Amino acid sequence: MTKENNSTHDDQNPSCKINPELSRRDFIGTVIRIGMLATLAGMVYPALSYLAPITKRGPAGGLSDVGAVDDIAVGDAKKVIVAGSAVMIIRTAQGFKALSAVCTHLGCLVGWEKARQQIVCPCHGGTFDIEGKVVSGPPPKGLPPHDVSVINGRIMVKV
């Protein structure tokens, strides 16, 4: 009598009590569940990180090099990320200023309007002067300043 079943499952062996079909189903089900969880995490994490205030991310600490002095012309500005915080670096005739680039109204990133020499929030039209004080619009308070200095031709900011 020959055995024609190619299956590796041995019904006669008492130590082999695993049902191969059920095991395969379980494995595929587990892989699908892990894939669904990974997809869900991939969708939820960016949404939550968008909602988290950008200024609360990352370590704060020492001075960070944000570029060369010549990167910003007098009367111009640029936004940088320092230790997870968005910072607006403004160059005036007197030197550099560093302010939080996060609007104090609802947290939008502000921009620099060179023609008016003002900081403008694109979300609800809030405007701030070069010192970060509210000029108009709904922001309840000014933009917090950061320490900025120039060392060996490099702009250094502390948040």
List of residues contacting ligand FES (CB under 6 A): 103, 105-106, 108, 121, 123-124, 126, 137-139
Q: Choose between 9 and 141: whose C-beta lies nearer to ligand FES.
A: 141
Nearest distance, CB of residue 27 and ligand FES, angstroms: 49
Nearest distance, CB of residue 67 and ligand FES, angstroms: 25
Q: Choose between 68 and 106: whose C-beta lies nearer to ligand FES.
A: 106
Nearest distance, CB of residue 128 and ligand FES, angstroms: 9
Phi, psi of 70 (to 5 degrees): -70, -5
Q: Choose between 126 and 132: whose C-beta lies nearer to ligand FES.
A: 126
Nearest distance, CB of residue 102 and ligand FES, angstroms: 9
